[in-house]
Amino acid sequence: QVQLVESGGGLVQPGGSLRLSCAASGRTTNNYAMGWFRQVLGKEREFVAAIRRNGGSTHYADSVKGRFTISRDTAKNTVYLQMNSLNSEDTAVYYCTYGPGVILSSIRQQSAYSHWGQGTQVTVSS
């Protein structure tokens, strides 16, 4: 099993920044992808960003491209999501996810991931 522990959510004003962290522990592999999805109550969970452990390729939803940056620390099995220029549409519960052997064509799909964090609330409001 793999455990994911998220941190870094909270309340921020429009235009502000937050950084989310997600640490994976347990039976991780050497070939995985980790990423972030978000969900607003009553709506579908949507892809935000993902990164592959090997090679470090990054992938973003169009809505966050240029504002969010995903990065990784392979030694710590930790991924970070730096979120800048936040606006009210970014308000959601953010879920960290882990998937062994995720292929590029599936990296934006929920079904590609096997483990999920508990979620952390991000609220953008003045």
Could you list the mean pLDDT of each consecutive 10-residue stretch along the chain, which spans 126 residues? 94 97 89 95 96 90 97 93 98 96 91 95 97
Buried b / exposed e across 28-38, counting CB within 10 Å, b at 16+? beeebbbbbbb
End-to-end CA distance of the chain: 40
pLDDT at 72: 93
Number of residues in the chain:
126
- CB atoms inside a 10 Å sphere around CB 101: 11
Q: What span, in angstroms and rounded, lies between the C-alpha atoms of 7 and 107?
A: 22
Q: Position 124: which residue type? A: V
pLDDT at 53: 85
Give Cα separations from 10 to 28, 30, 34, 66 (angstroms): 28, 31, 21, 21
